[in-house]
Amino acid sequence: MTDGRGLCAACAHAHIVTSARGSAFVMCGLSRTDERFAKYPRLPVLACVGFEASRPPREAQGHQR
Ligand code: SF4
């Protein structure tokens, strides 16, 4: 999914928080343990050392040699 969130849109550490007014924000899970990361990063995040793909490519089914 690509949208205004940049890398956060595909990051395993991103948590979507929706306000009472319906606005959606990204909360960075790494911010809880690492002060380098903002709790609510300014979007779009274009480069991030903490990025971790939330949907890694499916592993090949079975083992191939
Ligand atoms: S680690 Fe980086 S890319 Fe992932 S949610 Fe936090 S700010 Fe976004």
The pLDDT profile of the chain, 65 residues, written as one tens digit per residue, is: 457 889 999 999 999 999 999 988 999 999 999 999 999 999 999 999 999 999 666 665 555 55
Strand partners, 27: 15
What is the pLDDT, as a whole number, of residue 1? 47
CB neighbourhood size of 4 (10 A): 10
The number of domains in the chain is 1
d(C-alpha 24, C-alpha 4), whole Å: 11
Q: Does the residue 63 lie in any domain?
A: no
DSSP 8-state assignment for residue 63: -
Domain residue limits at 23: 1-53
Q: Does the residue 5 lie in any domain?
A: yes
Q: Does the residue 6 lie in any domain?
A: yes
From ligand 1's centre to the CA of 42, what distance in Å?
10
From ligand 1's centre to the CA of 12, what distance in Å?
8
Q: Is 1 helix (H, G, I), strand (E, B) or coil?
A: coil
Q: What is the value of pTM for the model shown?
A: 0.78
Residue nearest (by alpha carbon) to ligand 1 atom 5: 14
From ligand 1's centre to the CA of 26, what distance in Å?
9
| Amino acid occupying residue 55 | R
Q: Does the residue 59 lie in any domain?
A: no
Q: Does the residue 48 lie in any domain?
A: yes
Q: Does the residue 58 lie in any domain?
A: no
d(C-alpha 23, C-alpha 55), whole Å: 24
